Amino acid sequence: MSNRTSQFTEPIGRQVGARVQQPSCILDLKAVKLEIICSKKNSRSVYASTVTAKSSKIIGLISDDRNLQEVKEKLINVDNAFQRLQEAHYDYSSESMDEDGIPKYQLYLGSEERKFGLFLQQIVDWITVTEEKLLADSLQLDSVVKPEDSISFAGAGASSRGSRASSVALARAKVAKLRAEIAMLEKRQALEEREEFCLALEAEMARISKGERALAAENQPRREPLLR
């Protein structure tokens, strides 16, 4: 009788053990998912801090017109950083978003995009005004527009072109143009460096060839004069 009892009770015990383990597995999965969400949220925060730091650096540079080229290059870098911030936000929101949280995520991204759009427009306006000012100085024009008047004019022009979205689109177009200019400049510099290297190499080869000919002439046996 006892054997029969053990045969029936053992599977039941295993079933109970399996039921006890199920909540533990669910908790583990939730913990893993929560860890992933926290990691992606931290990544988004890092990218947001990077954009803020790079933007502040550029703001500090626009007080001097001589920083024009550096501002152009750093503006491209901060624009790349903001694109990575957007990607990190989409990655985080897709992992943690539910129906109740959709407005919250949209609000965060909308706020960041508006803030960065205003910054982008400010810097592009400064670049435009500075380029015009430097051009006027180089041509030694008698009537030079004051920087503050130019900034006001640029701001008024930007506002009259349409909505804020169109102004940001115009600024991004300017950034794209800067990318092309810098890429062309880097290509030109690479070609110039290559040309200089080729010229130096040719000069070195000519020097070595001349030395080889001189050495060969020294090692050539001398002909004795014929006796009559």
pLDDT tens sequence across 18-40: 444 555 666 677 777 788 888 88
Structural domain includes residue 71: yes
What is the CB neighbour count within 10 angstroms for residue 62?
Answer: 17
Instruction: Output helix, strand, coil percentages for the chain, rounded to the nearest 5.
Output: 85, 0, 15
Instruction: Give the angle 11-16-19 at the CA atoms, nearest 5°.
Output: 130
Nearest Cα neighbor of 105 from 88, 117, 89 is 89
Q: Could you tell me the residue range of the domain that residue 135 belongs to?
A: 26-141
pLDDT band at 189 (very low <50, low <70, confident <90, very high): low
User: 200-211, pLDDT tens digit by residue?
Assistant: 777 777 777 777
Overall pTM > 0.75: no
Structural domain includes residue 154: no
Window from 44-48, 112-116, 159-163 with minimum mean pLDDT: 159-163
The answer to whether 77 and 54 are in contact (CB under 8 A) is yes
Structural domain includes residue 57: yes
Q: Using alpha carbons, list the distances in angstroms from residue 84 to 89, 105, 198.
A: 9, 16, 40
User: Whole-angstrom Cα distance, residue 2 to residue 28?
Assistant: 39
Structural domain includes residue 30: yes
User: 109-155, pLDDT tens digit by residue?
Assistant: 888 989 998 998 899 899 989 988 888 777 765 454 555 555 554 55
What is the CB neighbour count within 10 angstroms for residue 206?
Answer: 10
The answer to whether 197 and 145 are in contact (CB under 8 A) is no
Nearest Cα neighbor of 151 from 159, 163, 143, 142 is 159
Structural domain includes residue 106: yes
Residue with tokens 């810097």: 123
Q: For the chain, how many structural domains are there in total?
A: 1
- Strand, coil or helix: what is 15? helix
